[in-house]
Structure 1
């Protein structure tokens, strides 16, 4: 079977649903990371909180609390990275046993599509999971860099190096959090991509639901209202 023959196994709706999934992943990420100034996202608000955290750290002589907080962030990132790697292994196992997968899929869809179709659909999920894993691993490493920078902040608030190092630690912390959030969004959309095993219509619905969940949590959640309280921003 040639490449064109394999492409022909998918209809226009399949390509449209896949395009919607990838476009939504990119567009949601851009909107969350670059929100309008009149309606900041939770991620944007938390970036300011992280800068304030590093500033307050310079006023504390004992920084055990800050170290514990960063350790907790690294543990959470490591957990999701490990979970992503395990899930990648599960998808690879499914790719190596498509006969059983086809049997299960046919029970739900009554569709006798060839194995290459199911493998291609799983490959999309695998790519999204791999992207999530790489983002989360890099985030974990950046939190480590942040830890080193925090250790380099002098204890004297009047030292000129204090503000510089604390600002560097804050920006690395924000970058690490951005990578963590990107990894989580990739996990969200990898879950949505499994709906393609049912049908293209199911993939479209799952993508729209995922977008709605992410948008609500970033722009219309109770946590956002809490972060906005008392800072003079539109509520």
Structure 2
């Protein structure tokens, strides 16, 4: 406890506020995106509805090769990000073992003479967010695998009473997997923001603000969201 108090003594009040903003921004934007008001849904919420509709259409599709290909692509995406995040964690751990070199580089960019413990805490903050992202990607990959299995259990006959309920189960698992994937991406965003702390508390605050701006724009003010919000116009050629 005494060591923790002594370590915290090396950080300024602005540092603590900046870290609090990083954590609050990460948790707050996740809550807002996943629990957006029904009258103003996020892009993620809109895509969740399309995932449900996908499973409804899947029941009557024959053959179902297209659906298996889509699930395969989703699993490949989660595998790629999990592998890339694991490499990033390894790089951050290697950097943690050679803090003196980082201090030498940082001296050219910042002023001050912070002790080694300060740099170690800053790197550990990034590692924590990267680890969270890795775990989310791994779980998302597994859930997409579960979704594929449930989809395979859907009877080929659309009239089978078990067809639609099983497809709906697959849809909900698909949505849960996508939610985990999106959480992993957000953790990566905030890991990058956390890296700005190496340049100081003001840099961290600016990075958090920019990250929040990017995420909110993409979820609530992007062109893709506007497209998803358009009503489906059914045209009939006479």
Classify the TM-score, shorter chain: over 0.9
- CA shift for structure 1 position 4: 1.5
CA distance in 2, matches of 1:118, 1:195: 12
CA distance in 2, matches of 1:124, 1:80: 19
1:46-84 alpha-carbon deviations (Å, 9 max, x no partner): 000000100101011210000000000000111000000
Aligned to 1:191: 192
Aligned to 2:171: 170
CA distance in 1, matches of 2:176, 2:232: 23
1:75-127 alpha-carbon deviations (Å, 9 max, x no partner): 01110000000000000000000010010111100221111100000000000
- Secondary structure at 1:69 match in 2: helix
CA distance in 1, matches of 2:114, 2:232: 56
Query: Scaled by the length of structure 1, what TM-score is found?
Result: 0.97
CA distance in 2, matches of 1:50, 1:183: 19
CA distance in 1, matches of 2:62, 2:215: 39
- CA shift for structure 1 position 40: 0.4
1:13-61 alpha-carbon deviations (Å, 9 max, x no partner): 0000000000000000000000011110000000000001001010112
Aligned to 1:151: 152
- CA shift for structure 1 position 2: 2.5
- Secondary structure at 1:3 match in 2: helix
Query: Scaled by the length of structure 2, what TM-score is found?
Result: 0.96
Aligned to 2:41: 40
CA distance in 1, matches of 2:36, 2:5: 41
Q: Unmatched 5+ residue regions in structure 2?
A: 234-238
CA distance in 1, matches of 2:112, 2:129: 25
Aligned to 2:50: 49
- CA shift for structure 1 position 231: 5.5
- CA shift for structure 1 position 163: 1.0
Q: Write the mapping of 1:34-183 to structure 2, written as runs, cut at 5 A.
A: 34-183=35-184
- CA shift for structure 1 position 217: 0.2
2:17 aligned with 1:10:
no
Which consecutive aligned stretches of 4+ in structure 1 deviate over 3 angstroms post-superposition? none
Number of equivalent positions: 232
- CA shift for structure 1 position 158: 1.1
